[in-house]
Amino acid sequence: MFQNGDVKNYFKSVLFIGPHYKQRGGIASVLEVYHKSIPNFIFIASYNKRNAFYNIIYFGVAFLKFLMVIIFNRNIKIVHLHTASYGSFLRKSILLIFAKMFGKKTVLHIHSGGFKIFFNESGILQSPIKYVLNISDDLVCLSDEWKDYFDSLTKRKKSIVVNNPVIFPENIQQAQCKKPVQVLFLNHIRTEKGLFDLLDFFNMNKSWLNGSFKLNIAGAGDLERMQKIIKDNQLEDVIEYKGWVSGKEKEALVQENHVFVLTSYFECLPMSILESMAMGKAIIATNVGGIPRVVRPNENGWLVEPGDLNELAVVFKEILAKPELLKNYGDRSLQIIQDYSPEKVNDKLNNIYTSLLATP
């Protein structure tokens, strides 16, 4: 293990690549934690979402910066690339290949919950995708389930599971549980995130949910569709849209709610769940991706199948009958999430980098 002084010197050898950590999204949230917790954080943003033309120019400039760093910064020995799928994977593939050409060790860190869909839809590009996965010196993913998947695509069983880091608030104040129970959805407002299933659930069951539960939604995406459903079905008494929140505003919103819900159809391991657990919240989520690593039935939350509104009804009725579970599960969330502290994640990264540099 590195001492503090060694860590500071050591991270000077690593160039991080990914979307700008000030933008919205799970990878950006991870990189923001890295930025705050890693000494001498050397980073180049390869993407900063605006429009297609801007993104092309932005990546072109990022590519030139990348070449300048790996050619002229003699300290850089490792390039750590954070990627999703589709365009993100294409951009990181280009950078990874050039990093290898200049003799750098590479870590390909895959965050995408939709990578299987991306790969299955890629057709003749499946071979180039496998090539990129194989030439990376280390392949990092977020759960044992994803490790098994990526190992099945590569010639070497080399995938490594690294937790996403989450910063713990200084003062955790659990909201006093009283009716209506405050339920928070904080993520992208898209079909695959399960938000519209939640709207259907609240609409179908508003006769007994009204007065007992309140769904608070925060995020960006298909706002027009969401707001139309709420208005057409007169759900304003049980559902409230809070807008896009970040920083202290997001922290306050999570603390004000009693339980966090995310009913996605596919995921890796969502930062929104980890951040909610770090604030002592019980979790309702779907049994997909790496979520079962941290959401454990009868310990800190509930797991349901994507799109199963009947299972959701069982969960909400249990909360109604046993509201004390929310605090008990929230306390357990705080215990489970300790392995996701920046210090422990940085230790794991140190071990990966040490191994890489020891290999010819």
In a shared domain, residues 327 and 351: no
Q: What's the CA gap between 281 and 284, in Å, rounded?
A: 10
Same domain, yes or no: 345 and 335? no
148-160: pLDDT as tens digits:
999 999 877 789 9
Do 134 and 185 belong to one domain?
Answer: no
Per-residue pLDDT at 67: 97
Indicate if 335 and 354 belong to the same structural domain.
no
Residue 175 domain-assigned? no
- Please give the structure tokens belonging to residue 260: 């966090």
Residues 208, 192: one domain? yes
* pLDDT attached to residue 21: 87
Specify whether 300 is located in the same domain as 203: yes
226: containing domain: 181-339
E strand intervals along 32-190: 42-47, 78-83, 105-110, 138-141, 159-161, 181-186
260 domain residue, yes or no:
yes
- Residue 53 burial by Cβ neighbours in a 10 Å radius (0-12, 13-18, 19+): exposed
Residues 156 and 185 in one domain: no
> Do 319 and 267 share a domain, yes or no?
yes
By percentage, how much of the chain surpasses pLDDT 90?
A: 77
Does residue 158 form part of some domain?
yes
Mean pLDDT confidence for 208-213: 95
- Both 187 and 59 in one domain: the answer is no
Judgement on whether residues 307 and 351 belong to the same structural domain of the protein? no
| 3 pLDDT tier (thresholds 50, 70, 90) | very low
Q: Do residue 106 and residue 185 come from a single domain?
A: no
pLDDT 10s digits, 325-346? 999 999 999 999 999 999 999 9
What per-residue confidence (pLDDT) applies to 123? 94
The CATH number of whichever domain residue 331 belongs to comes to: 3.40.50.2000
